[in-house]
Copies of this chain bind each other. A is one copy, B any other.
């Protein structure tokens, strides 16, 4: 029999792309331009294959001036631990994080909302492209809403298993004994949905490009996982990619 883990939170990464986006406008044209003009190195251009909404850039460029003001560098003050303590603390933090597991059986025990709020605030300290903070965290506790989310995710996962991802993927996952059924999305008392913002809006309603939005949101997820783990003695967290 499998033990029900004490974990209280399922982290669901829902990656929403192309919202409010004018589908193909200008894409093909810009592709050609980029290749001609940049001596493109594949490993650098790939950084922007995360739906960064670059083709929008040129269209609004004349209208949008928000970022023109200059910001002073801020002197940074600090204190530091002695070397032995740095080593000890880094070792302890490793041991704590090394106890995290991606679990499939999740407890239904409640967790204080203050803890949820603190871990989300912590995730929001992550660095992001041009400090655009391209993330939205949504906390869901309502059972009906959780169930609807489960149904959407299971429908997508079923397509993944049956046709989208191919036979190799199904084979690779086989030993992990996963499938598209996600009962734990009903069981967990709290779901944290994480959305990436492909772009934002400025105060005057203009589009604001969110550079490296996928990488930035994923880094925030890593910090969120660390925060969840850091305030526990040993429990673990399920990250649903």
Stretch from A14-22, A143-151, A179-187 at the B interface: A14-22
Interface centre among A68, A114, A166, by most chain B C-beta atoms within 10 angstroms, is: A166
A42 x B18 contact (CB < 8 A):
yes
Which of B15, B114, B171, B224 is in CB contact (< 8 Å) with A47?
Answer: B15
B230 x A176 contact (CB < 8 A):
no
Question: Which residues in B have their C-beta under 8 angstroms from that of A64?
Answer: 168
Which of B76, B121, B169, B175 is in CB contact (< 8 Å) with A209?
Answer: B169
A79 x B164 contact (CB < 8 A):
no
Q: Is A136 an interface residue (CB 8 A)?
A: no
Q: Is A204 an interface residue (CB 8 A)?
A: no
- When C-beta atoms are compared, the residue in chain B nearest to A117 turns out to be B90
CA distance A133 to B127 in the complex (A): 22
B122 x A98 contact (CB < 8 A):
yes
Instruction: Give the size range of A's interface with the partner.
Output: 35 or more
A109 CB to nearest chain B CB (Å): 9
Which of B47, B77, B177, B223 is in CB contact (< 8 Å) with A223?
Answer: B223
Q: Which of A171-228 contact B (CB under 8 A)?
A: 171-177, 209, 211-212, 214-216, 218-227
B80 x A235 contact (CB < 8 A):
yes
Q: Which of A1-21 contact B (CB under 8 A)?
A: 2-3, 5-6, 13-18
User: Do A114 and B94 form a contact, CB below 8 Å, given A164-B45, A219-B225?
Assistant: no
| Chain A residues close to B by CB (< 8 Å) | 2-3, 5-6, 13-18, 34, 37-51, 54, 57-58, 60-61, 64, 67-71, 73, 75-81, 83, 86-87, 89-91, 93-94, 97-98, 100-105, 111-112, 114-115, 118-119, 121-122, 125-127, 129-131, 156, 159-160, 163-169, 171-177, 209, 211-212, 214-216, 218-227, 230-236, 239, 241
